[in-house]
A = this chain, B = another copy of it.
Amino acid sequence: MIKQQRPRVLAFDVFGTVVDWRTSIIAQTASFLERIGHGGLDPAAFTDDWRGRYLSTMMAYAASGRGFVPLDQLHREMLEAMLKDKDIDPGALSDDLLVDWAHAWRRLAPWPDSVAGLTRLKRAMPIVTLSNGNVALMLELARHGGLPWDAILGAEVVRAYKPDPRAYVRTAEMLDVSPAELCLVAAHHTDLAAARACGLATAFVARPMEYGGRPAPDADKRQEWDWDATSITHLADLMGC
């Protein structure tokens, strides 16, 4: 690992890096499938399908030409498309139920080290979100898990989804720091590579259980990142916090 000056600001990817989306979405999806009379469907497969659709939507968003809409709404659209693929008519379900199910992504448990690590890092530097989750989602998630952000930034605030370069550059501008003074903390090589291409510093946090133990879709994109940690508390150790 390269010895590095401490960044001015830390910007965190959240889904997978700070919170364990898969365990939480599987548990909630199992309960929703039960409620709609489809308890026989596999909630883990459903969850992995949802995440897969999210990843391809994000990678293609800038090129799609679609105006910015909050992630809550995209989650809802993906959910309805998945239900239709399973011959379940979302039109026959109540709007409240569909909203609540799409909002499962607002209720995800932090990894065990996240709150302790963030709390230590926050003493030394501002810690902000740089997530594709919209503000209302991130706010509820932070209160749900006790995540002590200094500010909630990211896609909705800068009107661009990662890995669109504008998401990183505009966040640095809004923080009034140069890209090099801003460090993205993420468990995903794709995200870190896009941030590095914009001049940001990069901190990798390994989350081997993000996909239930299977390799992450971008596992082959590993590079030597500026910081390389096994947890957020480990990152705090490395940064001397």
Residues in chain A within 8 A of chain B (CB atoms): 72, 126, 128, 134-136, 138-139, 142-143, 149-153, 156-157, 174-177
Q: How far is the CB of A49 from chain B (nearest CB, A)?
A: 25
Cα–Cα distance between A193 and B19 once the two chains are bound (Å):
40
Q: A128-B139, A134-B174 are in contact. List 18 more A-B contacts (CB 8 A).
A: A72-B176, A126-B139, A134-B176, A135-B151, A135-B157, A136-B174, A136-B177, A139-B150, A139-B151, A139-B175, A142-B151, A149-B150, A149-B151, A150-B152, A151-B151, A151-B152, A156-B174, A157-B157
Asked whether, in the complex, the Cβ of A150 is within 8 Å of the Cβ of B143, the reply is yes
Is the beta-carbon distance between A142 and B150 smaller than 8 angstroms? yes
Contacts of A136 in B (CB 8 A): 174-177
Q: Are A135 and B153 in contact (CB under 8 A)?
A: yes
Q: List 22 A-B contacts (CB under 8 A).
A: A72-B176, A126-B139, A126-B143, A134-B174, A135-B151, A135-B157, A135-B174, A135-B175, A136-B174, A136-B175, A136-B177, A138-B151, A139-B151, A139-B175, A142-B150, A142-B151, A143-B150, A149-B151, A150-B152, A151-B151, A151-B152, A157-B157
A156 nearest in chain B by CB position: B174
CA distance A149 to B138 in the complex (A): 13
A138: chain B residues within 8 A (beta carbon): 151
A177 to B153, CA, bound (A): 19
Q: Chain B: which residue is nearest A151 at the CB level?
A: B152
Top 5 A-B pairs ranked by shortest CB distance? A136-B176, A151-B152, A135-B174, A139-B151, A157-B157
**Please, which residue of chain B has its CB at the minimum distance from the CB of A175?**
B136
CA distance A72 to B175 in the complex (A): 12
Cα-based distance from A132 to B2 in the complex (angstroms)? 40
- Please indicate the chain B residues that have their CB under 8 angstroms from the CB of A72 in the complex: 176
A140 to B175, CA, bound (A): 10
A24 → B minimal CB distance (Å): 20
* Most interface-central of A139, A142, A153, A156 (chain B CB within 10 A): A139
B residues in contact with A152, CB < 8 Å:
150-152
Which B-chain residue is minimally distant from A125 (CB atoms)?
A: B143
Give CA–CA (A128, B156) in the complex, Å.
Answer: 16
Please report the C-alpha to C-alpha distance between residue A149 and residue B127 in the assembled complex, in whole angstroms. 13
Q: Which residues does chain B contribute within 8 Å of A135, judged by CB atoms?
A: 151, 153, 157, 174-175
